């Protein structure tokens, strides 16, 4: 990436168009909410309308088809690869050149809002519409994409499609992953009609830029309008299978129990105590998002538990320390409670640093346009972290309302903030593709 040449040539900020691309705020907002209506549900806790488009379900398939229709309406050449990733290509003056990619995901967690992932895909689509309106053809082709199962919460590992595209996960492994009902990725891709033929491994793009909501409180709390993302923290997902002995809740004395549920509870408390100790840095986060007791009946001591441990840490060494220490803890706990504990890593990515050059292009546009911005590390995983391994990559964050809550139907950002993010995305793409 010879950003220096682009910057020196003055094309760096396409002064004529910097942050003035005719992004249509209302059209972007309407597309976000039209997509959010697919897989919609009424959240019983908040009473709000949320989004449930788990990867490769019928709802995800319907969302995929809607976005593909929009891609085709804008004249993008659409292709589907063998892991179900979808690419919409906008020709450039020289189509032999490596494209600039932008995109994200449209699969969601079961309690999602309208923005996570979708803003990046529909923001990229809006950039193509704005370039058409401005009658701009870039030197390089541009591709807008969405990747399969970024969330990872149906088939167990996150960034599935982008990890396969960028070579971190082999296709066969990805195809073989199964959900809680034993249904495999490959079967679901075939069932919903997204088992494409295009080779899933892509040649290195010229650059990759992703627009996403921050999903945290920082930008709004500090009064910034956009964030230039410096990278992503380390992620560790483990699935624990704890086996004790089911027993009668009334007749079994406490000292004779081998209570798998109590073991899971002790591990959960230990995680919070480890964080409170500060030994793993102030940013360490731990979540036991999944906890399934068996036989899950009021009068039976749980004989078996499946639970998950999600650890996040910006520092790789401290993440390794935390994984080592919590494993040592549950090994000793297994002895103490006379249960067996087996752990399986289902996702593990080191911290990722994004391209300084691409960050500089983004920041340059924001500075030129007087947009209040700061550099910020991403607390959440993103498809961009996979592309950072194969090409210059960075992200743009849009602030969220309500403390930036996400993975909750209350997730919200304003139409103006989304359009501002899309303008920044468009200007960055214009620079990188010129």
Using CB under 5 A, list all residues that contact Mn ion. Answer: 116-117
* Closest listed residue to residue 28, CA positions, set 427, 421, 433, 402: 421
Output the six-digit token pair for 333. Answer: 């706990």
Binding-site partner at residue 113 among ligand HGY, Mn ion, none, CB < 5 to 8 Å by type: none
Closest separation in Å from C-beta 214 to ligand HGY: 12
User: How many residues bind ligand HGY, per CB under 6 A?
Assistant: 6
Whose Cβ is closer to ligand HGY: residue 130's or residue 153's? 153
Whose Cβ is closer to Mn ion: residue 116's or residue 310's? 116
Give the integer Cα–Cα distance in Å for 400 and 219: 8
Closest separation in Å from C-beta 270 to ligand HGY: 22
Residues in the chain: 434
What mask of x and - would describe binding to ligand HGY in positions 346 to 385, judged by CB under 6 A? ----------------------------------xx----
Whose Cβ is closer to ligand HGY: residue 70's or residue 354's? 354
Whose Cβ is closer to Mn ion: residue 116's or residue 259's? 116
Closest separation in Å from C-beta 286 to ligand HGY: 13
Q: What is the dihedral of CA 318, 322, 325, 329, to 10 degrees?
A: 170
Whose Cβ is closer to ligand HGY: residue 380's or residue 424's? 380
Whose Cβ is closer to ligand HGY: residue 234's or residue 432's? 234
Closest separation in Å from C-beta 406 to ligand HGY: 8
What mask of x and - would describe binding to ligand HGY in positions 125 to 164, judged by CB under 6 A? -------------------------xxx-----x------
Give the integer Cα–Cα distance in Å for 383 and 381: 7
Binding-site partner at residue 149 among ligand HGY, Mn ion, none, CB < 5 to 8 Å by type: none
Give the integer Cα–Cα distance in Å for 425 and 123: 8
Closest separation in Å from C-beta 137 to ligand HGY: 34
Whose Cβ is closer to ligand HGY: residue 150's or residue 259's? 150
The number of C-alpha atoms within 13 Å of 238 and in the hemisphere containing its C-beta is 21
Among positions 177-206, residues that touch ligand HGY (CB under 6 A) are: none
Whose Cβ is closer to ligand HGY: residue 266's or residue 318's? 318
Closest separation in Å from C-beta 351 to Mn ion: 17
What mask of x and - would describe binding to ligand HGY in positions 236 to 265, judged by CB under 6 A? ------------------------------
Closest separation in Å from C-beta 266 to Mn ion: 29
147 Cβ contact partners less than 8 Å away, ≥ 6 residues apart: 85, 103, 104, 105, 159, 160, 161, 162, 165, 383
- 58-73 and 185-192 helices cross at what angle (nearest 10)? 50
Footprint on this chain of ligand HGY (rule: CB under 6 A): 150-152, 158, 380-381
């Amino acid at each position: 990436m010879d950003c220096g040449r682009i910057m020196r040539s003055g094309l760096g900020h396409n002064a004529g168009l910097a942050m003035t691309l005719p992004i249509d705020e209302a059209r972007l907002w309407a597309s976000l909410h039209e997509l959010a209506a697919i897989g919609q549900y009424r959240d019983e806790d908040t009473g709000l309308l949320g989004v449930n488009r788990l990867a490769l379900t019928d709802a995800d398939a319907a969302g995929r088809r809607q976005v593909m229709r929009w891609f085709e309406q804008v004249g993008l050449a659409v292709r589907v690869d063998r892991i179900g990733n979808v690419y919409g290509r906008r020709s450039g003056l020289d189509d032999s050149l490596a494209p600039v990619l932008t995109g994200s995901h449209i699969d969601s967690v079961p309690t999602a809002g309208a923005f996570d992932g979708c803003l990046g895909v529909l923001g990229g689509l809006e950039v193509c519409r704005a370039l058409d309106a401005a009658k701009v053809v870039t030197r390089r082709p541009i591709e807008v994409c969405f990747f399969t199962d970024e969330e990872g919460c149906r088939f167990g590992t996150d960034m599935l499609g982008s990890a396969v595209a960028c070579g971190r996960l082999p296709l066969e492994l990805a195809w073989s992953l199964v959900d809680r009902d034993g249904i495999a990725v490959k079967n679901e891709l075939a069932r919903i009609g997204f088992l494409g033929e295009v080779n899933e491994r892509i040649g290195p793009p010229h650059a990759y830029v992703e627009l996403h909501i921050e999903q945290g409180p920082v930008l709004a709390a500090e009064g910034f309008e956009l964030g230039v993302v410096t990278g992503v923290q380390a992620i560790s997902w483990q699935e624990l299978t704890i086996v004790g002995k089911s027993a009668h809740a009334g007749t079994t004395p406490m000292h004779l129990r081998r209570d798998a549920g109590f073991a899971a509870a002790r591990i959960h408390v230990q995680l919070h105590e480890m964080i409170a100790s500060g030994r793993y840095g102030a940013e360490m986060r731990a979540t036991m998002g999944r906890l399934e007791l068996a036989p899950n009946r009021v009068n039976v001591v749980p004989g078996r538990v499946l639970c998950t441990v999600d650890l996040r840490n910006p520092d790789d060494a401290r993440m390794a320390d935390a994984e080592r220490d919590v494993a040592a803890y549950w090994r000793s706990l297994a002895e103490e409670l006379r249960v067996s504990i087996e752990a399986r890593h289902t996702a593990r990515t080191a911290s990722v640093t994004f391209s300084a050059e691409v960050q500089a292009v983004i920041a340059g546009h924001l500075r030129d346009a007087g947009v209040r911005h700061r550099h910020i590390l991403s607390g959440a995983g993103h498809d961009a972290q996979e592309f950072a391994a194969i090409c210059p990559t960075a992200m743009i964050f849009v602030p969220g309302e309500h403390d930036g809550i996400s993975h909750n139907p209350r997730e919200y950002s304003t139409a103006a903030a989304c359009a501002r993010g899309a303008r920044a995305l468009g200007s960055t793409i214009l620079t990188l593709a010129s």
